[in-house]
Amino acid sequence: MLIEEVEVRAVERLSPSFVRVELGSPALAELGVSSTSYDQRIKLIFPDGDHPLPAFEGVGEGWYGEWLARPEAERGHMRTYTIRGVRGEGESTRLVVDIVVHEGATGPAGIWGERAAVGDRVICTAPRRGHEYGGIEFAPSDGDALLLVGDETAVPAVAAILEQLDVAARGAVFLEVPFAADVLTLEHPEGVGVRWLPRDGGPRGEALHAAVLEHLGAQAASLEVDESEIDPDLWETPFYSSSGEAEGGNGRSVGHEWHGLYAWIAGESKVVTGLRRALVKDLGLDRHQVAFMGYWREGRSIS
């Protein structure tokens, strides 16, 4: 794994809610991101105010425990992001990350993104060439019809996935963003339809929930999710379950009504919980054909 201090080499405001940063360091020559990195996640550590970034020289596999043991202000703030792209090569390699900036309550990463300028520095953990890293969840079977659903924080992952799909891929994508001006131009195979759903002040998740159920030919059941149902760390994939549900391999049931569909759903945990309930409990999708990921939880800081 790479754990390196990287520098902002370019900043571009893509839209009201997206800031694109290109991060560089000679150490990125060893970045190990393949052409099918899909939704490859990375960790970024942002500085705490004027405190310097934590140093990681010489730390090995136990870096996380060592980092956690440091005093809070020295640690900085670790958050999860997606590799939107990789530009250049060798020591000129740049890691492209799209950061959502938002109004209202916001955390250190959002604030950093809003103010990002060339020369700013963060720590980045990312895959190193030739070493195991993990962090890719998108795993459909060949020929599956795809259903990709996300809010603004999942737009970078969906955009990266779409660029890397086979030209013959087919399916539907639903993306909820804060404003109509956040609709981006994405590259995608012809057989994959992309529908943007700007909230423009409307309630979070409502239009997304309804559009996904309509796509599946189901009635939009109530979106109401009780607080007690929400797992802020929601992560239910064919290979991992944050709720401890029985795991298993990719054993999708042949003959099942939804056989041949693969759903990848990420965003705010309450919205994703509502979709999970609708798709798995109400419509009966097999949990082996869906990945539900809480990328963030309203009102909470999540590293």
Ligand X SMILES: Cc1cc2nc3c(=O)[nH]c(=O)nc-3n(C[C@H](O)[C@H](O)[C@H](O)COP(=O)(O)OP(=O)(O)OC[C@H]3O[C@@H](n4cnc5c(N)ncnc54)[C@H](O)[C@@H]3O)c2cc1C
Chain residues binding ligand X by CB under 6 A are 41, 77, 79-82, 98-100, 102, 105-110, 153, 156, 295-296, 298-302
Cα gap 177→200, rounded to integer Å: 8
> Nearer Cβ to ligand X, position 80 or 220?
80
Cα gap 273→191, rounded to integer Å: 28
Smallest gap, in angstroms, from Cβ of residue 60 to ligand X? 24
Q: Which element (helix H / strand E) includes 241? A: strand 240-241
* 206-215 helix and 269-276 helix, angle to the nearest 10 degrees: 30
Which residue has tokens 């405190």? 51
> Nearer Cβ to ligand X, position 106 or 164?
106
> Between vectors from CA 107 to CA 228 and to CA 301, what angle results, nearest 5°?
30
**Close Cβ partners of 24 (under 8 Å, ≥ 6 residues apart):** 6, 7, 9, 92, 93, 94, 95
Smallest gap, in angstroms, from Cβ of residue 225 to ligand X? 16
Smallest gap, in angstroms, from Cβ of residue 13 to ligand X? 14
> Nearer Cβ to ligand X, position 162 or 213?
162
> Nearer Cβ to ligand X, position 41 or 252?
41
What count of residues does the chain have? Answer: 303
Task: Tell me 271's DSSP state.
Answer: H
Smallest gap, in angstroms, from Cβ of residue 97 to ligand X? 6
Smallest gap, in angstroms, from Cβ of residue 126 to ligand X? 13
Q: With helix as H, strand as E and coil as C, how does 96-152 read?
A: EEEEECCCCCCCHHHHHHHHCCCCCEEEEEECECCCCCCCCCCCCCCCCEEEEEECH
> Nearer Cβ to ligand X, position 155 or 212?
155
Smallest gap, in angstroms, from Cβ of residue 219 to ligand X? 29
Smallest gap, in angstroms, from Cβ of residue 275 to ligand X? 16
Cα gap 150→181, rounded to integer Å: 17
> Nearer Cβ to ligand X, position 122 or 213?
122
> Nearer Cβ to ligand X, position 21 or 169?
21
Residue whose beta carbon is closest to ligand X: 107
Q: Give whole-number Cα distances, 261 to 108, 145, 224, 264, 301, in Å.
A: 37, 5, 26, 10, 33
The torsion of the CA quartet 112, 118, 121, 127, rounded to 10 degrees, works out to 100
